């Protein structure tokens, strides 16, 4: 079986995954899949159907049966455009809750694997290099200091808890969610042993993208040579 051409970009919230993954996909002229948006959309659809987020069979049914439309920054589930609705502090918490459920993860991982069949893809998330595509030729783990991650999130209007929420409060919410992602039993957030870690603290986006592109070039050349 051939190795899927996946560039896996993992890391905690606010590390810059979205911006960097989009830019890398554009530079490589390939698709970009934000798997966090899939967890968010599943949480949204479950609530919309009036089901509880800890009703694992109900959430897993949404995860395995929903029709996703992921196109750039547009996210639709079962025909509902949720691009904006899933980017709120409430949906931050709801997505982290469904992402803890093993049956939900299994369903979404299967769908994420099938998305790579159509060709090269930059896929961002928490477990892409460890669980979804452990054989991915390129794995990047983006990180940044907790202060910088919180400051980035606080600048994003969608993630302010309410008008006037300060960085300290955003930092507390981010920290709580990261702890959930790192300590859950099913595929916790962790760096794959063969991932290249890039600390984006204080780095402009184009510098991070250049580093990622260098790794892509090296790994692809290595894969051709072996």
Count other C-beta atoms under 10 Å from residue 164's C-beta: 7
First to last CA, the chain: 16
- Binding mask of the shown chain, residues 68 to 97, with x at each position contacting ligand DC by CB under 6 A: ---------------------------xx-
68 pairs with which residues across the strands? 77
Tell me whether residue 55 or residue 220 sits nearer to ligand DC (CB atom).
55
Query: What helix, strand, coil percent values describe the chain, rounded to 5?
Result: 55, 15, 30
- Considering only the stretches 56-64, 121-129, 157-165, 217-225, report the one whose residues sit in contact with ligand DC under the rule CB under 6 A: 121-129
CB of 181 to ligand DC, least distance (A): 5
Tell me whether residue 97 or residue 212 sits nearer to ligand DC (CB atom).
97
Q: Does 153 bind ligand DC (CB under 6 A)?
A: no
Options 32, 126, 139, 152; binder of ligand DC; rule CB under 6 A? 126
Q: Does 181 bind ligand DC (CB under 6 A)?
A: yes
CB of 96 to ligand DC, least distance (A): 3
Residue 11 backbone class (left: φ over 0; alpha: ψ -120 to 50; beta: rest):
left
Per CB under 6 A, contacts with ligand DC among 1-60 are 13, 35-36, 39-40
d(CA 109, CA 210): 29
CB of 119 to ligand DC, least distance (A): 20
Options 4, 16, 125, 137; binder of ligand DC; rule CB under 6 A? 125
Q: Is 76 exposed, middle or buried (0-12, 13-18, 19+ CB in 10 A)?
A: middle
Q: What letter does residue 185 receive in the DSSP assignment?
A: S
Could you list the beta-strand ranges (E) of 88-210. Answer: 121-125, 138-143, 196-199
Residues engaged in binding ligand DC (CB under 6 A): 13, 35-36, 39-40, 95-96, 99, 125-127, 177, 181
């Amino acid at each position: 079986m051939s190795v899927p051409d996946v560039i896996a970009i993992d890391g905690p919230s606010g590390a810059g995954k979205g911006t960097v993954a989009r830019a890398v996909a554009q530079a490589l002229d390939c698709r970009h899949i934000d798997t966090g948006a899939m967890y968010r959309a599943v949480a949204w659809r479950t609530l919309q159907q009036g089901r509880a987020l800890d009703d694992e069979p109900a959430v897993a049914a949404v995860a395995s049966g929903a029709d996703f439309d992921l196109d750039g920054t547009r996210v639709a589930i079962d025909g509902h455009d949720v691009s904006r609705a899933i980017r709120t502090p409430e949906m931050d918490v709801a997505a982290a809750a469904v992402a803890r459920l093993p049956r939900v993860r299994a369903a979404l991982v299967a769908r994420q694997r099938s998305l790579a069949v159509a060709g090269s893809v930059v896929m961002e998330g928490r477990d892409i290099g460890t669980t979804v595509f452990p054989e991915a030729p390129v794995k990047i783990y983006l990180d940044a200091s907790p202060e910088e991650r919180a400051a980035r999130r606080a600048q994003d209007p969608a993630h302010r808890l309410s008008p006037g929420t300060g960085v300290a409060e955003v930092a507390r919410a981010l920290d709580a969610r990261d702890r959930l992602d790192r300590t859950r039993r099913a595929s916790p957030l962790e760096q794959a042993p063969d991932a290249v870690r890039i600390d984006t603290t204080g780095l402009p986006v184009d510098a991070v993208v250049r580093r990622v592109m260098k790794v892509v070039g090296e790994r692809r050349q290595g894969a051709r040579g072996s």
